[in-house]
Amino acid sequence: MSGDRTSARLTVDALVELTRRRLGGRRRRVVEPGVLISAAVLVPIVDRGEPHLVFAKRSERVGHHPGQIAFPGGTVCDADRTALDCALRESHEEIGLSPAGVEPLGTLDDTETFATRFVITPIVARVDPPPAWRPDGTEIEQVLEVPWAVLADPRSLREEIWARDGARRSVYFYDWGGETIWGATARIVKQYVDLVGGPA
Domain tally, the chain: 1
**pLDDT for 4 beyond 50:** no
CATH number of the structural domain spanning residue 27: 3.90.79.10
Distance CA(59)–CA(110), nearest Å, equals 25
Sign of the alpha-carbon torsion through 130, 135, 139, 143: positive
**pLDDT above 90 (res 72):** yes
Beta bridge partner(s), residue 93: none
Judge if pTM exceeds 0.85: yes
The pLDDT value recorded for residue 5 is 46
Q: Which residues make beta-bridge pairs with 146? A: 53
Which residues, listed in sequence order, are joined to residue 111 by a DSSP beta bridge?
120
> What value does the mean pLDDT of the chain take?
88
Domain encompassing residue 21? 5-197
Query: How far is 124 from 137, CA to CA, in rounded Å?
Result: 24
| Dist CA 1 CA 4 (whole Å) | 8
Q: Give the tens place of pLDDT for each residue, 56-67.
A: 998 866 655 567
